[in-house]
Amino acid sequence: MTVVIDQNEKDRRALRHPEKAHRPDSAVLRKPEWIRVKAPGGIAYAGTETIVREHGLHTVCEEAGCPNIGECWTNRHATMMILGDTCTRACAFCNVKTGLPGPVDADEPQHVAEAVAKLGLRHVVITSVDRDDLADGGAKHFADTIHAVRRASPDTTIEVLTPDFRGKKGGVEIVMEARPDVFNHNLETVPRLYLGIRPGARYYTSLRLLDRAKELVPDGFTKSGLMVGLGEAREEIMQVMDDLRAAGVDFLTIGQYLQPTRKHAALDRFWTPDEFKSLETTARAKGFIMVSATPLTRSSYHADADFAEMKAARAAKA
């Protein structure tokens, strides 16, 4: 199959993902009707956008091209992406720009805190690019951001979605010392696909990170997420669920992988809403206290409502 790409698209790719430029093109499959979302826009959406811009922030909503941005930003939910907009890894599924990042902005924690207060968030999700270039992988910057948000908005609960701090001893300890309400780290896919999908990561390193977070703060909540549609088998997902439960993970998210460009990992197939429902039922049976498994589920999608439900579910069990 021949795919024609215009020069502008080629330039844009070269700019955002230089490491993917040599990859063969794969066709982007047409989305089924259950994936369609409304185009972003409206006054409330623009209000969120203004606050994000005014504070010079990056959001994963925009950088990753999240399909839910219209809904989330209309509800003033934006997921802050700290430590810059450039990632030192080159995951095959991810649309965040890759390359050599600039220096860390020491004022960023304060800017995030001000934006969270202005947005009036009850629950904020803070994530970052991978910063393998930093001695602590960015862990202290996460802790500084947690503290800044706590000072400005003491009633806001804080969820961090961190990188794996691979090879950075003490990273998770620094983050957990700041006591986020939820520690999230996504496994993203099944171990068999790691080399192609998360080439810079190791499945057991990520699993151990989650285990360690729970060890450090046993009464905290831990969370992880998977994408489906990359060629994984249902049995492999079952095994990942068992591994996550063994690591004490409370909350599992599962969403459909959407291929950002023809140079990204090829989409194998769209899982149907019924298949997602079945994954959710199985995950709950395996003991997760909270599960979100729908085609449009993302780590931070409805994170505030899900956090409240998870807390209530734990309290009911106690």
Which residue ranges make up the site for ligand SF4 (CB under 6 A)? Answer: 60-61, 66, 68-69, 72, 77, 79, 298, 300-301
CB of 182 to ligand SF4, least distance (A): 14
CB of 123 to ligand SF4, least distance (A): 11
Q: Which is nearer to ligand SF4, 225 or 231 (CB)?
A: 225
Where does residue 279 rank: exposed (0-12), middle (13-18), buried (19+ CB within 10 A)? buried
Backbone angles phi, psi at 222, to 5 degrees: -120, 155
CB of 124 to ligand SF4, least distance (A): 10
| Look-up of token digits 């019924």 | 274
How far from 261 is each of 2, 42, 122, CA to CA, in Å?
15, 27, 34
Tell me the sheet residues that pair with 80.
Answer: 59, 126
Cα 175 to Cα 146: distance, rounded to the nearest angstrom: 9
Q: Which is nearer to ligand SF4, 68 or 98 (CB)?
A: 68
CB of 26 to ligand SF4, least distance (A): 24
Cα 255 to Cα 253: distance, rounded to the nearest angstrom: 7
Q: Which is nearer to ligand SF4, 62 or 232 (CB)?
A: 62
Say how far residue 260 (Cα) sits from the centre of its chain. 15
Provide the 10 A C-beta neighbour count for residue 10.
Answer: 12
CB of 63 to ligand SF4, least distance (A): 9
